[in-house]
Structure 1
Amino acid sequence: MSKKFHFIAIGGAVMHNLALAMVSKGYVVTGSDDEIYEPSRTRLFDAGILPAEKGWYDEKIHADLDGIILGMHARIDNPELVKAKELGIPVYSFPEFIYNQSQDKKRVVISGSHGKTSITSMILHVLKAEGVDFDYLVGAQIAGFDLMVKLSDAPVIIIEGDEYLTSPLDRRPKFFHYQHDILLTSGIAWDHFNVFPTFENYTEQFEKLVAMTPKNGTFIYCERDPIVKKLGENCPVNTATLIPYQAHPSQIKEGLTSLLTDKGPVPIEIFGDHNLQNLQGALEVCKSLGLSADTFYKHIQTFQGAAKRQEILAKSSSSILYRDFAHAPSKLQATVKAVKNQFPDRKLIAIQELHTYSSLNKDFVYNYAHTIDDADEAIIYLNPKAVSLKKLELMDEPTLREGFQRNDIILFTDIQKLKDYLEAKSYQNTNLLLMSSGNYDDMDLSLIKEKINQNQ
């Protein structure tokens, strides 16, 4: 008989993908949530597991359930969770459940404040192209993969290891649960200000993670990051295999990047020093899994990037509109620098929507100092409603200019005014870069795209 699991907060990005993966594996799945947005809603509906009504209903919890999977969005007093605990039904966070399903596999965990999704996506792309059998958990929808989660009988699983809290019942980082065999750490830059109140507290989580490396395990680390380099050099597991890496050697010609290899240049579709570091990390993981460098180079040429990472929305011979997920200071700086270095002769207009709790907090904004310096024009967008929901104070232009250490920053707090401003511009010999973990209030970009596509 198929096992039965109920999801509390089924609508989340990873949660609904895990639910769909479990349906495809033959489990009986039910769920609840107080809000379910697209694309989760349609995908759950198509799979026949969309909750009939929004909200929490303790009658959905019964003794026949084999387990509860608890999302971070749920509160600790959630009535379904309370009843599950009363009935003694096992409650798993999704990281705990992923580990539960992968104990007999080789577990590869990709960690770091930035680059996790990109590195994981590169590894998945290469393994799939080579026909390797593997499972995975990745934090974004990526090209060529229907789901963000796959669970099967494959001998290896690639996991994007997030440092954010596990669940309302478990205030530890998610990546502690996966018990890695191979660990990669890309870089460390203070994030999740609301959870890790000091940089030292944040860094400590990664120190603990590295210490969890098994005696015969592997730690792959970016030595370009001084904090990560120290983690590698001071790794307490003296029998682990330590593999430091830097950005892969490359060249740029006429706006196109190629990897420099022993067998000549290998053209790739991604660019920027940050992505070249990510690529080298992905190469080291693939080699640790038994693939050759030549195999990696053959397949990485067709990798187009993870969703919303340097994603091209419009393009002509003289201008490009990019969208990027960059939101933390290190991500913002790397993305702006990459686009400017790729097209040094073009004007760069960079727009950052501050959307996360950390970025909207005036006590944190100084961490953004000089992150947008490489842009020729710098714009910040703040949604007053988002600020209010987080119970924070709306920052003004002088505060932002002081925080970013840039005196010509322009602030918009009205999406229509920002849209009008951008639509009035000429984009001849100009790149436009939109950065955010939000969505600019679903700003209509059609006229801007049209202007850029028509530039010749």
Structure 2
Amino acid sequence: MKTHFIAIGGSAMHNLAIALKDKGYQVTGSDDAIFEPSRTRLEKKGILPEELGWFPEKITTDLNAVILGMHAHQDNPELAKAKELGLKIYSYPEFLYEQSKNKTRVVIAGSHGKTTITSMILHVLNFHQKDVDYMVGAQLEGFDCMVKLTRDNDFMVLEGDEYLSSPIDLRSKFLLYQPNIALMSGIAWDHINVFKTFDDYVEQFRKFVASITPGGILVYNEEDSEVVKVVETAENYFRKIPYKTPEYEITNGKVHLKTEMGDVPLSVFGAHNLLNLEGARHICQTLGIMDEDFYEAIMSFKGASKRLEKVERDDKGTLYKDFAHAPSKVKAAVKAFCEQFKNEKKYGFLELHTYSSLNPVFLEQYDHAMDGLEEAVVFYSEDALKIKRMDPISPDLIKEKFKNQNLKVFTNAEELHAYWNTLDKTHGVYLMMSSGNFGGLDLTK
């Protein structure tokens, strides 16, 4: 099969391209910008485009599939050529469904926790040498690629994202998967550039539940009132399995899960991660993994990349980075950090740089998000606001919306870095929350 990727350099797209190459497909692609690690990984597989840019001549009638990434625009010249030739154009999730439509599809959805839960499930299955196809949104220890596609595996585990499928397919990605088994971890308004109201956002999850195949299974977080509303009002037929935060205790800085089989020591911390773990356990049960085997495997799970991930520093200071940027994720990460390091001075840094997080209306969602930290810092770039054509935001407005007048607010990367360099990282503990890089801050030094 011959496939071509329009915008092959994306974090999701390049992993799918590699998975198809490993499956034996002919793979080509184009992009106008490819960054690391995508560049090196594509190059190793021999599918890195020879030059950057869009080349309509690459679109030929012998292509079996054209896969369109979100980075491309509707007026992309390669897309126009594909339409002109009448070729089949797939979005990323649409193509994943085509690859898995004859398998049992397990889809993990939710505003937060879906990457960690998917990662936990895959870790347990890998530990017990249970081979499945998968797609996950983070690099995992012991896995070469974030996507695996085979001809023979019976199951496919998919992280289900509610964001748009492609520039020409405005459906939420997870609506294309039609799960046999699903999990919903939580609902908290996000992506307000696309979903203008909270109800519009919630509607995507209603549709997701409605897309579960007849007689399927939904594992859901019964502690989230919005999730419960969606489940209770669903009209289609499926089996409902609720889950909640399990009992645990922290002893000498180590989290121990309280189970019928005794205490289970864990390598992750935070109530939200234990809630994620419980959801993963129920999914694994549906896949034939007994609780005893689940606990044996989960003890060695160290977390998904950039999810409360410990950074090894040259000075041996205690620093964790987290992908948290949406309000619900920030609150969960801060709460976990404060609980884990009760007796330490806690520093928290948050970078606001997504469209939603820089919207004055959405900033209301961050109220008290940094409470519990002895030193709390928020950074956003005034240049980023200009690039996004958004109105300026004052530091005073940030303090007001966070309901925290003790916040340190930086709008210039150089000033942030200067402050960072005044801190002795061997004293206290540090939590760095961003889907960016704090204007190029090196967290290892």
CA distance in 2, matches of 1:317, 1:39: 26
- SS across alignment from 2:311: strand
Query: Which of 291, 298, 301 is the aligned partner of 1:303?
Result: 301
Structure 1 position 215, deviation (Å): 2.2
d(CA) in 2 for partners of 1:242 and 1:446? 45
SS in 2 for 1:441: coil
Letter in 1 for 2:376: A
* 1:125-164 paired onto structure 2 within 5 Å: 125-152=123-150, 153-164=152-163
- Corresponding position: 1:371 with 2:369: yes
- The residue aligned with 2:246 is 248
- Of the candidates 354, 357, 382, which is equivalent to residue 356 of structure 1? 354
- Please state how far the C-alpha of 1:428 moved relative to its aligned partner: 5.6
Question: What is the CA distance between 1:58 and its match in structure 2?
Answer: 0.6
Aligned residue type for 1:99: Y
Whether the 8 Å contact between 1:380 and 1:409 is mirrored in structure 2 is yes
Which residue matches 1:172? 171
Tell me if the contact between 1:70 and 1:91 (Cα under 8 Å) persists in the aligned partners: yes
2:233 matches 1:228: no
Deviates more, 1:278-287 or 1:424-433: 424-433
* Paired position in structure 2 for 1:275: 273
Residues 71 and 231 from structure 1, CA distance in 2 versus in 1: closer, same or farther, beyond 3 angstroms? same
Q: Which residue of 1 aligns with 2:407?
A: 409
Q: 1:76 aligns with which of 67, 74, 77?
A: 74
Return the alpha-carbon distance in structure 2 between the equivalents of residues 269 and 80 of structure 1: 47
Cα separation, 1, equivalents of 2:197 and 2:187: 13
Q: CA deviation at 1:44?
A: 1.0
Q: Secondary structure at the match of 2:32?
A: coil
Output one character per residue of 1:67-106: Cα deviation in whole Å (capped at 9) or x when no partner: 1000011111111111111111110011011000101111
Deviates more, 1:211-220 or 1:60-69: 211-220
**Secondary structure at 2:439's aligned position in 1?**
helix
Identity across matched positions, percent: 50
TM-aligned CA deviation for residue 133 of structure 1: 1.5
3-state SS of paired residue (1:203):
helix
2:236 partner letter: V
Give the whole-Å Cα distance in 2 for the aligned partners of 1:374 and 1:303. Answer: 27
Does structure 1 retain, via aligned residues, the 8 Å contact 2:315–2:425? no
SS in structure 2 at match of 1:445:
coil
Please show how residues 39-438 of structure 1 align to structure 2 within 5 Å. 39-152=37-150, 153-238=152-237, 240-314=238-312, 320-427=318-425, 430-438=428-436
The CA distance in 1 between the partners of 2:278 and 2:50, in whole Å, is: 46
Partners of 2:253 and 2:388 in 1: CA distance: 41
Deviation, 1:308, is 0.5
CA contact (8 A) 2:318 2:426 kept: no
SS where residue 442 of structure 1 aligns?
A: coil
More displaced 10-residue stretch of structure 1: 156-165 or 50-59: 50-59
Runs of 5+ in structure 1 lacking a partner? 448-456
Deviation sequence 1:364-417 (CA, Å, 0-9, x none)? 111111111121111011122322221112322111011111111111122222
Deviations 1:28-68 (A, max 9, x none): 00000111111111111111111111111110011111110
CA–CA distance in 2 between the matches of 1:103 and 1:316? 48
Contact 2:312 2:444 in 1 (8 A): no
| Paired residue type of 2:247 | P
Please say if residues 113 and 187 of structure 1, whose CA atoms lie closer than 8 Å, have aligned partners that are also in contact. yes
User: Taking structure 1 as reference, are residues 317 and 14 closer, same or farther at Cα in structure 2, changes over 3 Å only?
Assistant: closer
Aligned mates of 2:284, 2:401 — CA distance in 1: 40
**Residue 219 of structure 1 aligns to which amino acid in structure 2?**
L
Distance 2:258 2:56 in 1: 59
Preserved contact between residue 124 and residue 297 of structure 2 (Cα < 8 Å): yes
Distance (whole Å) between structure 1 residues aligned to residue 41 and residue 207 of structure 2: 37
1:416 & 1:317 partners in 2: Cα distance? 22
Is the CA contact 2:378–2:408 (under 8 Å) kept in the aligned structure 1?
yes
The one-letter code sitting in structure 1 at the alignment partner of 2:424 is S
Question: Counterpart of 1:33?
Answer: 31
Deviation at 1:255, TM superposition (A): 1.1
Offset, 1:16: 0.4
* Code of the aligned partner of 1:225: D
Q: Equivalents in 2 of 1:128, 1:146: separation in Å?
A: 12
TM superposition score normalised by structure 1: 0.95
- Verify the 8 A CA contact 1:232 1:244 in the aligned structure 2: no
- Cα deviation per residue 1:243-268 (whole Å; 9 max; x = unaligned)? 01011211111111011111110000
Work out whether residues 318 and 429 of structure 1, in 8 Å CA contact, stay in contact via their aligned partners in 2. Answer: no
Matched residues in 2 for 1:246 and 1:80: separation?
A: 48
Query: For residue 335 of structure 2, what is the amino acid of its counterpart?
Result: K
The 8 Å contact of residues 66 and 90 in structure 1, kept in 2 or not, is answered as yes
Match of 2:319, SS?
A: strand
The 1:329–1:30 alpha-carbon spacing in structure 2 relative to 1, beyond 3 Å, is same
Supply the AA of the counterpart residue of 2:378: I
TM-aligned CA deviation for residue 317 of structure 1: 12
Q: Offset at 1:193? A: 0.6
Letter in 2 for 1:60: K
Q: How far did 1:107 drift?
A: 0.2
Q: Contact 2:311 / 2:444 at 8 angstroms: preserved in 1? A: no
* TM-score when normalising by structure 2: 0.97
Cα distance in 2 for residues equivalent to 1:430 and 1:282: 32
* Partners of 1:333 and 1:255 in 2: CA distance: 21
Return 138-147 or 301-310, whichever deviates more. Answer: 138-147
